[in-house]
């Protein structure tokens, strides 16, 4: 006969599995969100002339985004998401530097 104590944890286990199941297969969703956000920031940086005014951060953003896409194509969504987030950080910095350069130039 099965002890009733074995079933005491069944509700907690069921709840845990139910909460984790949707998250387990969502790596591509998190990457898609991060990549879309990073891509729009990279585009904004390009439009502001970051290639000229913030070369280092602009190209770091572009290269991180390219690498993120490569990782995603290999289904390594964790690394891909991290790289996309790093790309966005560099793009935001490039945007800030480009805007500062425009203000300094009197634009």
Q: Where are the alpha helices (DSSP H) in the chain?
A: 10-24, 27-47, 50-53, 55-73, 77-104
pLDDT at 104: 84
Which band of pLDDT confidence, cut at 50, 70 and 90, is reported for residue 19? very low
Cα–Cα distance, 92 to 87 (Å, whole number): 9
Summarize pLDDT for 29-82 with one digit per residue, the tens.
Answer: 999 999 999 999 999 999 999 999 999 999 999 999 999 999 999 999 999 999
The encoded tokens of residue 104 equal: 């300094």
pLDDT at 12: 54
């Amino acid at each position: 006969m099965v002890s009733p104590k074995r079933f005491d944890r069944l509700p907690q286990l069921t709840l845990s599995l139910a909460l984790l199941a949707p998250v387990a297969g969502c790596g591509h969703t998190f990457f898609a969100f991060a990549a879309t956000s990073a891509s729009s920031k990279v585009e904004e940086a390009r439009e502001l002339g970051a290639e000229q005014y913030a070369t280092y951060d602009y190209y770091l953003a572009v290269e991180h985004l390219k690498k993120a896409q490569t990782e995603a194509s290999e289904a390594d969504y964790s690394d891909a998401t991290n790289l996309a987030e790093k790309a966005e950080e560099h793009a935001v910095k490039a945007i800030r530097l480009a805007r500062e350069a425009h203000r300094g130039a009197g634009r």
